[in-house]
Structure 1
């Protein structure tokens, strides 16, 4: 069972619809009790970093979810701002991040011809082969909507790259913690494949 964390920020319904179409068990999680029975989690997020972190702190889910992910090694996939929340901090705000993958979130450099936010379809390059991208070809296109990116301290934890004015990581992984900057739930067949791949990772831990 995949738990989609709902704390007031993220495309919950769209992700749930993908798993329903794949006939994969998933549910929306809004409280500590609803974490029970899950073997992996998706952490979505939209809007600003501080707003998402404030709402997540307010939910009361951070402590119990951290125990499941860091102590019991259950997989988690952060999406968009949900990926940025995995970092230690962000230039976009002042609240601390989760620190599940050491790094910082930085603003994409604005320059002539580079529009912000980075919005629309862009090619994603594999920086490191990873089970999350199984069956997805290099330079496949995914849908983005963001102005900030995750810069991990350990560059080997960057698994996907994209270029928008500059090259930066759009996918990270450390142990059971995964993050993607783009929206797989809006990225058609390749996004569906990625969410399906994540479900297989949760099966290993179930």
Structure 2
């Protein structure tokens, strides 16, 4: 079972249905104990970083996320879920994140319309299991006003240009993060989720 973390933010049912469409059972969970029983974990989300962290902490899900990652389970952060994996966000001042990865979440500050909304290309920086069978430069659907600035460039798995380049995919070991929404990204977005599901099935 793939656990989709419910912390009160995000289009959870859309992600769940997308996994089901590619043949994997996914369950929306809020109980840390139930999350611990999953073979893979997904942290989706849209909205404000600070509210998201407050909700995770209040439900005890911040500790559950760190425990799941420490055990080696495949873990996928989507959009805000990617950003929460980093040390701190500049949204509304400075808000600590989960600290799984070094780096900051910064507001898109260059001269472009925000939020960055719509289809855009992702250029892969290294070979990872999540992008197996997907061509370099494939397009996915984005909606965001903040981006991750990793403190370790070895984390960067994909880059997108919107006015200027920014990190749109990260990976280290069992942990993956993507800025775009695979559940809204048609066939190739579903392929991302299928690849993640297959990785979970091998564990």
TM-score by length of 1: 0.94
Taking the aligned partners of 2:59 and 2:81, their CA distance within structure 1 comes to 15
Matched residue, 1:158 = 156
Report the 3-state secondary structure (helix = DSSP H, G, I; strand = E; otherwise coil) of the residue aligned with 1:102: strand
The answer for the alignment partner of 1:108 in structure 2 is 108
Are the counterparts in 2 of residues 20 and 26 from structure 1 also a CA contact under 8 Å? yes
| Residue 85 of structure 1: aligned partner | 84
Alpha-carbon offset, residue 36 of structure 1:
4.0
Does structure 1 retain, via aligned residues, the 8 Å contact 2:148–2:167? yes
Report how far residue 64 of structure 1 moved. 2.5
- In the TM superposition, 1:175-194 aligns within 5 A as 175-194=173-192
Q: Report the structure, 1 or 2, having the larger strand content.
A: 2
Q: Secondary structure at the match of 1:73?
A: coil
CA distance in 2, matches of 1:106, 1:68: 26
- Find the residue that maps to 2:202 and give its secondary structure: helix
Which deviates further from its counterpart, 128-137 or 101-110?
A: 101-110
Q: Cα offset for 1:37?
A: 2.9
Q: Kindly provide the CA deviation profile for residues 106-146 of structure 1, in whole angstroms up to 9, marking residues without a partner as x.
A: 111231xx111100000111111111100110111100000
Whether contact under 8 Å (2:41, 2:68) holds in the other structure is no
Q: CA offset at residue 191 of structure 1?
A: 0.4
How far residue 159 of structure 1 moved from its aligned partner, in angstroms, is 0.2
Give the secondary-structure state (helix, strand or coil) at the position aligned to 2:77.
strand
Which residue is equivalent to 2:134? 136
Q: How far apart, in 1, do the equivalents of 2:167 and 2:36 lie?
A: 33
In 1, the alpha carbon distance for the partners of 2:139 and 2:64 equals 35
**Stretches of structure 1 lacking an aligned partner (at least 5 in a row):** none
**What's 1:35 paired with?**
35
Does the 8 Å CA contact 1:124/1:142 hold for their aligned counterparts?
yes
Following TM superposition, by how much is the alpha carbon of 1:45 offset from its aligned partner in structure 2, in angstroms? Answer: 1.1
Question: Runs of 4 or more off by more than 2 Å in structure 1?
Answer: none
Q: Give the secondary-structure state (helix, strand or coil) at the position aligned to 2:101.
A: coil
Corresponding residue for 2:56? Answer: 56
Equivalent in the alignment of 1:198:
196
The TM-score normalised by the length of structure 2 is 0.96
Distance 1:33 1:123 in 2: 38
Q: Map Cα deviations across residues 152-200 of structure 1 (whole Å, 9 max, x no partner).
A: 1111110010001110110001111110000000000000000011112
> How many residues are treated as equivalent by the alignment?
202
Contact 2:140 2:181 in 1 (8 A): yes
Counterpart of 2:25? 25
